[in-house]
A and B are shown apart, each in its own frame.
Chain A
Amino acid sequence: MLNRTVPPAFQSIKDITIIQPEEIVYKNGLKAFVFQAESLDLLKFEFTFANIYTQEELAYLNPILSSMLKEGTQTLSSKEIADTIDFYGAYLMPEYSLDHTSLTLYTMHKYADKVLPIMADILRNASLPQKELNTYIRNNKQSLQISLQKNDVLARRYFYDAVFRGTRYGVLPTEEKYDAVTREQLLNLFQHQIYPSNCTLFIAGRVDKPIHDLVSQYFGEDWKNEQKELNANALSFDAHTTEVVVVEKPEALQSAIRLGTTSIRRAHEDFPALQFVNTLFGGFFGSRLMRNIREEKGYTYSIGSYVGNLKYTGFFTIATEVGVASTQDTLKEIATEFDRLRSEPPQQEEVDLVRNYMQGVMLGSLESIFSHVDKFKATYFSGLTLDYYRYYSDVLKAMTPAKVQDIAIKYFDYDKLYKVVVGKV
């Protein structure tokens, strides 16, 4: 007779191994990393540029440049680019993050030679047409108006504004800023940012000789390095601890709560341990915040904490939306959870669960060759090597209840967080 109360025996979870890419440096300064997947009929070309800021306070231009890249070249219209990319079943995706701008091309292997010339043309000759810029501004003003009606969006903006004030990370788009954007500013930014030696290219899929040759021709030879030098300034961040800031929304059914602070970066030796404690605290469905505030109290559909890594700082943040009547109680419970995290070590069982969970997630995050690229990028742009993943795994294995408490005392302090509520208290 089957005993259903006894779980099957636990089998230990394997470590991951990330594929070491082939590195190519072209004469024009372009650096490429090639991830081979012989049996795949898809290819990914990701051109990643370090964001350049001509002036810190003009940081809102960078995401606009990113979106505008595919809107026309000296010889191809926005429509011609879109028609060709779509016809070959390809995807041309601008992606923007606070430190990098990238343009990614996904294509079936058989059509790579049809769509790569378009990418080459864009990177060399994007013309950022005024008409397309007008469309972009008009549409983004309208979607901004809609976003600003969302309490969670407002709370996030208050957080970024306060914690990253005075730096590029704290610059948020507004209608006024959109209205002031000129094509000349964007062309200037294009010249400062989009050139080979500021680019890292990640190629994944079946990268055979014909593909190598195409890349080498279009991007290694025909693309001239015409960089303009800019002095990069390191950023500094002031502490912004506050009492809870309340932004009243009388009609709100729910309050958006956002707390957070700057923190350490990935390159810091404590980073994996910080991720561990964050996971235990608010980083997954079984975390303390979720169990307490959703699964016991029913105050919210979801609550989570998150550790972010940027080029010049890390950050830690908590976000949730709760029924207005539960706003005060939720804040109280969050504060209590911080106290508990700092004042008592967790049970061994909880530490083991979080470790196994994180090892499983790490193993599961390697889904295809494209995930190897992402893992590599995360270390590469932090100045680390792939050895980081062995270190990460070693740290996970070495976590103890006492170590969790040490990290909590060092990095998890409710009193040092910026706190905002958009809704009703």
Chain B
Amino acid sequence: MVNFSRFKLDNGLTVLVHEDHTTAMAVVNILYKVGARDESPDKTGFAHLFEHLMFGGSVNIPNYDAPLQAVGGENNAFTTNDITNYYITLPANNLETAFWLESDRMLSLAFSNQSLEVQRQVVCEEFKQRYLNQPYGDVWLKLRPLAYKVHPYRWATIGKELKHIEEATMEDVKAFFKKYYTPQNAVMVVAGAVQLDEVKQLVQKWFGDIPSGEPVVRDIPKEPQQVEARFERVKADVPVDAIYIAFHGPERMEADYYAADLITDILSRGASSRLYRALVKEHQLFSEINAYMMGSIDSNLVVVEGKPLPHLSLEEAEQHIWQQLDRLKEERIEEQELQKVKNKVESTMLFSELSILDKAMNLAFFEMLSKAEDYNREVEKYSAVSSEDILRVANAVFRKENSSTLYYQSNAKEHVE
């Protein structure tokens, strides 16, 4: 159970405070409700590039990092398809430094040309390091446009191509900041060795006079229902074949999200999970296999991916995966197995409560979804899932016409045959 208080400034900034006096540290986590889904198709990768620019100095503070490091703090950020999240960890007695830095960059960036220039290059190197110069690194650059035809989830946060990042202009940067980086489009969580009253007073002092900006109006196209199976085969210089099957599944806020998430746990969480047990251990068909949910706010994906052993063709690999999925559709799961995945959810929750940063991020995320109170109801919601729910959701999700299958085929293997 994570206790917290909530207050809101006149400019629309929502603030949550979670006191935890077992630590000497404080966390300031700011979530901006903007991600790659807010980009236009010809300027992809921009939300993430922008995240880099947030460290390039603000209107009154030329350097963001050094003053924070000088008071013993650390920071980082990440961008997803839905959100951009910035976080600071620092000794709690220096909390005000975090507010000073974060409020100034919420007020206005310095919009330095040099920073834009360098960060375009840095992000291009990141693109190469993580997506292009790695075996299987470009999988999501292929799988997203296969699974999504309309929704902006069809591109990855890094962007569709290097060119989009190379062509980003200062004009784009300014417009993006004005539209999305406003108090009313942000959720701030302050956690750790802090006092609610002090936080209130300091937040008012540093954030109170930031103009509220205009409300963000989203007009994101809805992904139409998929009606036929999709398939793509790519060949690459990788040593081993791989297969990826993506299904559309319940959205993050739908009741069935929890059943779908438990289904992926049944399939691949831990050494006792079905796919691992059957396909890796008993029948020795795969070297790796995994199932997981993307957890996206809009149209979500349930993904199964694996690397078959050399003697197995991708077609056979696909059939073996489907046998396991069909089992979930046909046989009601035993209570013992369902209880197992629920117990794992419970213990994982206890572990995440050990970290003030994890707690702060989770509170911010749930506040963005709807309300932070929901974070404390997660275990309950997973517990409420029944074996009928599992059966029903498995049948709704694991249908050929709801699937996008990618064969990632090794050039090396072909030569052998």
- Point out residues on A near B: beta carbons under 8 Å: 2, 4-5, 7-8, 10-11, 13-14, 41-42, 70, 78-79, 81-83, 85-91, 106-108, 132, 134-135, 138-139, 142-143, 145-146, 148-151, 251-254, 284-286, 294-302, 321-323, 352-354, 356-357, 359-361, 363-364, 366-368, 370
Contacts and interface: CB of A to CB of B under 8 A. Distances in A.
B135 interface: yes
A132 B121 CA distance: 47
Contacts of A108: 346-347, 350
Most chain A CB neighbours (cut-off 10 Å) among B123, B128, B269: B128
B23 interface: yes
Contacts of B125: 254, 298-301, 321-323
A353 B66 contact: yes
Give the contact-size bracket for chain B: 35 or more
B288 A143 contact: yes
Given A135-B280, A367-B354, A367-B355, A360 B90 contact: yes
Interface in B125-178: 125-126, 128-130, 132-136
Contacts of A356: 69-72
Contacts of A370: 354
Interface stretch (B31-39, B96-104, B211-219): B96-104
B313 interface: no
B9 interface: no
8 contacts: A10-B70, A79-B272, A145-B239, A149-B238, A298-B125, A301-B126, A352-B70, A370-B354
A79 B270 CA distance: 11
B71 A360 contact: yes
Nearest to A255: B133
Interface stretch (B79-87, B336-344, B390-398): B336-344
B94 A89 contact: no
Contacts of A78: 271, 281
Given A83-B272, A87-B339, A367-B356, 18 more contacts: A2-B209, A8-B99, A11-B71, A13-B93, A13-B94, A14-B93, A151-B133, A253-B132, A285-B74, A286-B65, A286-B66, A296-B118, A298-B121, A353-B66, A357-B72, A359-B91, A363-B25, A370-B354
B307 interface: yes
A240 B260 CA distance: 54
A13 B90 CA distance: 10
A254 B347 contact: no
A94 to B, nearest CB: 11
A42 B347 contact: yes
A107 B340 CA distance: 13
Interface in B16-54: 23-25
Contacts of B24: 14, 363, 366
Contact of B135 (A86, A87, A146, A297): A146
Contacts of B103: 4
Interface of B: 23-25, 59-61, 65-67, 69-74, 89-91, 93-94, 96-97, 99-100, 103-104, 107, 117-126, 128-130, 132-136, 205-206, 209, 237-240, 269-273, 277, 280-281, 284, 287-288, 307, 309-310, 336, 339-340, 343-348, 350-351, 354-356
Given A4-B104, A301-B122, A87 B340 contact: yes
A149 B410 CA distance: 12
B104 A8 contact: no
A302 B52 CA distance: 13
Contacts of B66: 286, 353
Contacts of B206: 2
Nearest to B357: A367
B93 to A, nearest CB: 4
A323 B128 contact: yes
Contacts of A145: 239-240
8 smallest CB-CB distances across A and B, nearest first, come from: A360-B72, A298-B121, A89-B347, A89-B343, A82-B271, A82-B272, A8-B96, A145-B239
Contact of B346 (A89, A294, A296, A354): A89
Contact of B129 (A87, A301, A364): A301
A298 B117 contact: yes
Given A254-B129, A321-B133, A363 B91 contact: yes
A132 to B, nearest CB: 8
Most chain B CB neighbours (cut-off 10 Å) among A90, A299, A353: A353
B72 A363 contact: yes
A299 B119 CA distance: 10
B198 to A, nearest CB: 13
A298 B272 contact: no
A364 B89 contact: yes
Contacts of B124: 323
B98 to A, nearest CB: 9
Most chain B CB neighbours (cut-off 10 Å) among A7, A135, A354: A7
Contact of B91 (A14, A42, A294, A295): A14
B272 A90 contact: no
B346 A146 contact: no
Given A79-B272, A367-B23, A146 B72 contact: no
Given A86-B272, A89-B346, A143-B287, A360 B354 contact: no
Nearest to A79: B277
Contacts of B94: 8, 10-11, 13, 360
A154 to B, nearest CB: 12
B122 A300 contact: yes
A79 B273 CA distance: 10
A85 B271 contact: yes
Contacts of B340: 83, 86-87
Nearest to B192: A364
Given A87-B343, A254-B129, A352-B70, A4 B100 contact: yes
B228 to A, nearest CB: 33
A361 B74 contact: yes
Nearest to A83: B272
B72 A361 contact: yes
A142 B133 contact: no
Contacts of B59: 4
Contacts of A143: 287-288
B248 to A, nearest CB: 28
Given A14-B91, A138-B287, A321 B69 contact: no
B318 to A, nearest CB: 18
Contact of B280 (A139, A284, A357, A359): A139
Contacts of A11: 71, 91, 93-94
Contact of A4 (B61, B96, B343): B61
A4 B60 CA distance: 6
Given A85-B271, A298-B119, A7 B97 contact: yes
Contacts of B237: 149, 251
Nearest to A252: B133
Contact of B60 (A5, A300, A322): A5
B100 A7 contact: yes
B89 A357 contact: no
A108 B89 CA distance: 28
Contacts of A354: 69
B104 A42 contact: no
A171 B273 CA distance: 33
A149 B351 contact: no
Contacts of A106: 347, 351
A139 to B, nearest CB: 4
B355 A13 contact: no
A364 B128 CA distance: 33
Contacts of B122: 294-295, 298, 300-301
Contacts of A364: 25, 72, 74, 89-91
